[in-house]
Amino acid sequence: MWAYEKRLQYPVKITKTCPKTAQLIISQYGGPDGELSASMRYLAQRYSMPVKEVGGLLTDIGTEELAHMEIICAMVYQLTKHLTVEQAQEASFDAYYIDHTAALWPQAAAGVPFTALEFQSKGDAIADLTEDLAAEQKARTVYDNLLRMITDPEVREPLKFLRTREIVHFQRFGEALEKTKDKLDPKNFYYFNPEFDKEMKDKSKFKL
């Protein structure tokens, strides 16, 4: 069950129209390391996670990533809310404007559309959690890059909040990976799929 609270996790109040900045930030909506792919990754992976607590963590973080996607969308919307055709042309935002006007549509900063190929749900706990660690680091790197290029404090503050949450998620996934490994046979957990091989607790069956 989902309970939706009608407020952003972090307030967004941007007063200046800037399509160039919007074009950069939109990458964290539909780009390869964005919030949309993160939420879909974690909410899919939770079903095949063999450790109940880790499945719960994936649900929690996947849900939070939806809230982060909402923050990014609010930022892009406010940056283009009063956009003129002239501003779109001057900022090279015209190609996006032709297809979407100022509506929200998931893509990377380079204009590549969102695709589910940007994330994986493998059904192997070690593979999935390792991907999750990498995903959080890559997302943090994107926020670092955005903060290097953007100077407007109204834009920077929400980005700094989101960057901090990526670091927290990375730490939680690191703990989850160790917790999951503790539940598996350390001699064998890299050599079989613990979600598929239900007899994983019968260690003698998987001796190398």
Q: Is the residue at 109 inside a domain? A: yes
Distance CA 41, CA 189 (A): 22
Confidence of residue 184 (pLDDT cuts 50, 70, 90): confident
Residue 4: inside a domain = no
Question: Mean pLDDT, the chain, as a whole number?
Answer: 91
List pLDDT tens digits, range 86-141: 999 999 999 999 999 999 999 999 999 999 998 999 989 999 999 999 999 999 99
First-to-last C-alpha distance (Å) of the chain: 43
Q: Contact at 8 Å (CB) between 121 and 45?
A: yes
- The candidate with the shortest Cα–Cα distance to 46, out of 128, 116, 165, is 128
State mean pLDDT over 202-207.
47
How sure is the predictor about 207, in pLDDT bands with cuts at 50, 70 and 90? Answer: very low
pLDDT for the residue 191: 62
DSSP H helices, the chain, are 19-25, 27-30, 35-45, 52-80, 85-90, 94-100, 125-149, 153-183
pLDDT of residue 183: 84
Domain count, the chain: 1
Which pLDDT score is estimated for 206?
42
Total-model pTM: 0.90
In a domain, residue 9? The reply is no
What average pLDDT does the segment 167-175 reach? 98
Structural domain of 173: 19-206
Q: Fill in the amino acid letter for 52.
A: K
Residue 1, domain member (yes or no): no
The answer to whether position 11 is within a domain reads no
Q: Phi and psi (nearest 5°) for 18? A: -155, 85
- Whichever domain contains 158, its CATH number is 1.20.1260.10
Residue 204 in this model has a pLDDT that exceeds 50: no
